[in-house]
A and B are shown apart, each in its own frame.
Chain A
Amino acid sequence: MEVTMTHYLVLAALLFLTGMTGFIVRRNAIVMLMCVELMLAATNIVFAVFARAHADGGGHVFILMNFAIAAAEAAIGLAILVEIYRRRRTVNVDDLKALME
């Protein structure tokens, strides 16, 4: 069987949906951030596929930028999580209710 563009796109869509489902289902903030990383990985695949299809370097540049941004976001998110864990001893988002009505 020949692997075509469609296969990659389906893979990306499945990866994106996996991340999305995980984000909705899980309540652990670290796992939720990991699920977001899965979604970003899915978009990277899409960009790579189309960059090749269009023979355009822009998609590859986007992927590199995306790595940097995802890393920055994860760094900030984990720093905040450490701060919260020190005070609350939990990273479960359902336990964070100081701001609920």
Chain B
Amino acid sequence: MELLNINIPDWADLAWWLPEAILCGTFLVALLADLVVRGRRPWLPFAVSVAGLVTAGAYAVAALDPGTRTILGDLVVVDGLAAYFRLLFIFVGLVTVLFAWTAEEIMGRTRENKGEFFALTVLMTAAMCVMAEAKDLLMLYLSMEAVGIVSYVMAGYMRTSLRSTEASLKYVIFGAVSSAIMLYGLSLLYGMTGSMQFDGIRAGLMGGQVDDFGLLVAVILVIAGMSYKIAAVPFHYWAPDVYEGAPTPVSALFSVGPKAAGFALMIRFFYTTLAAGPDAAGSAGLVQQINWPLLIAVMSAVTMTYGNLVALRQLNVKRMLAYSSIAHVGYLLMGFVLLTETGLQAILFYLLVYALMNLGAFLFVVAINNHLRSEHLDDYVGLGFRAPWAGVMMVVFLASLTGVPPFAGFVGKWYLFIAVMDKQWFWLAIIAALNSVVSLYYYFRVVKAMFLTRPAEGANLSPLKLHWLQYVLLAVLAIPTLGLGLFFGQFTGLADRAILMMTTGF
């Protein structure tokens, strides 16, 4: 055992990790700032977090074309995929921080520990970035747990609320067991191949002498753990409760951030360890006894159908959005079925679009909750006239979530459909199309409540005045949701390049 013969990292490569380093530094400074002012001036940690996220974002934009850089020995790799995702995560983190500043659930008079919220969001952003970069089992597990542990705390942020603490407990219990299950799978993979590195595992599997049954068990355990992260059926049961119970800005972050990070991790892990090769046409795995594409395809179909059908009977808008986000995982998994480059590119582009429209929809719920203290559909009646601008933007988000042209959601879905139809998986595309029709019903029920239903006699119809920052942020999310539906070439190009860099880089 040659423990002394370690791989000395090349420190110059750490420069490619500046965004993550800045985020970690920001977390510490924001936390310290909150301690110094004893939680009395929450604007200080808020300002530190925003400044840190903007700086990190600037560096992430500058490093959008990194080539392939391995950092910290061989634990972490910064390549096109990582550069794409970390930009997405920093954007999501920034929107969450800004919106939380205006949210009663975080900043209200009776709330505690306001400053820590911003620090935690920054830390979670950094951990999600690492999830997209891990190329070693150790880093994979560490980054997933870092995201997990921060999210348990954030879900229970409203410490005095029964619903928030209950959401947090459910999250922590199911999160712990799913990561234990995944870890068992990882330990078996390590045992069979003798390597922690993704490419080392691949080499070990290629070398033969691997027990097929053992590999099958290991991969199924790993898939189970990762499906929990992205909330795919049958590992979705925590999602509705957690999204409903957590403060709404946190639900918005959960429904986008960790989900995208889970997909990034799955893409890298499965593509670099299990896919038959960069040039292979279809088969996703080295274990031949089981039909991997069929397994993922069934999972995808069940996930979207379940999410959409249960969303139909939700009267709480937040819970409805939780089920809708499960349905969207189903759509996203379509791109994962065949592990082709087209499919992965479609996933990347759809994640960007999904982040815009889903954050927008959740943030509308935050803005309304500030005034009405309710997320119930009955209380949304007449909102279109009480807050016309925000109402119209909510319609944009919902239409895009449905996948109606000319919104971005349509283009995103179109790419996902092409990815499966390319390989003659028509039944999956048909199920997805039917599901989109079903989703039209519940998304437009919200639109109907806001604009078409006649308010009851004597109902309060005074106009709602939202915070100016909320208008700005909703517009920042709504304009690209509309614009990406019309001018998407630039961004699909970005996704294409990110995947090409990953597939040819290793």
Hey, which bits of chain A sit against chain B, CB under 8 A? 9, 16, 19-20, 23, 29, 32-33, 35-36, 39-40, 42-43, 46-47, 49-50, 53-59, 61-62, 65-66, 69, 72-73, 76-77, 80-81, 83-84, 87-88, 93, 96, 98-101
| Interface assignment of B181: CB less than 8 Å from any CB of chain A | yes
> What's the Cα separation between A101 and B240 when bound, in Å?
10
| Interface assignment of B453: CB less than 8 Å from any CB of chain A | no
Chain A residues lying within 8 Å of B138, measured Cβ to Cβ, are 58, 61-62, 65
A32 to chain B minimum Cβ distance, whole angstroms, is 6
Interface SS of chain A: helix, strand, loop or mixed? Answer: helix
Hey, which bits of chain B sit against chain A, CB under 8 A? 1-3, 137-138, 141-142, 145, 148-149, 152-153, 156, 159, 162-163, 165-170, 172-173, 175-177, 179-181, 183-184, 186-188, 190-191, 194-196, 240-241, 244-245, 319
| CB-based nearest B residue for A83 | B165
> What's the Cα separation between A98 and B168 when bound, in Å?
12
| CB-based nearest A residue for B196 | A58
Interface centre among A47, A54, A58 (most CB of B within 10 A): A58
Contact of A69 among B142, B152, B184, B245 (CB under 8 A): B142
**B245 to A98, Cβ gap below 8 A?**
yes
> What's the Cα separation between A50 and B245 when bound, in Å?
42
Chain B residues lying within 8 Å of A36, measured Cβ to Cβ, are 173, 176-177, 180
Given contacts A55-B1, A73-B176, A88-B162, contact A43 B169 (CB under 8 A): no
Chain A residues lying within 8 Å of B241, measured Cβ to Cβ, are 99-100
Chain A residues lying within 8 Å of B156, measured Cβ to Cβ, are 80, 83
| CB-based nearest A residue for B245 | A99
Given contacts A39-B180, A83-B165, contact A50 B173 (CB under 8 A): no
| CB-based nearest A residue for B241 | A99
> What's the Cα separation between A101 and B165 when bound, in Å?
17
Given contacts A29-B173, A65-B138, contact A40 B145 (CB under 8 A): no
| CB-based nearest B residue for A96 | B166
| CB-based nearest B residue for A88 | B162
**A16 to B169, Cβ gap below 8 A?**
no
Chain A residues lying within 8 Å of B170, measured Cβ to Cβ, are 93, 96, 99
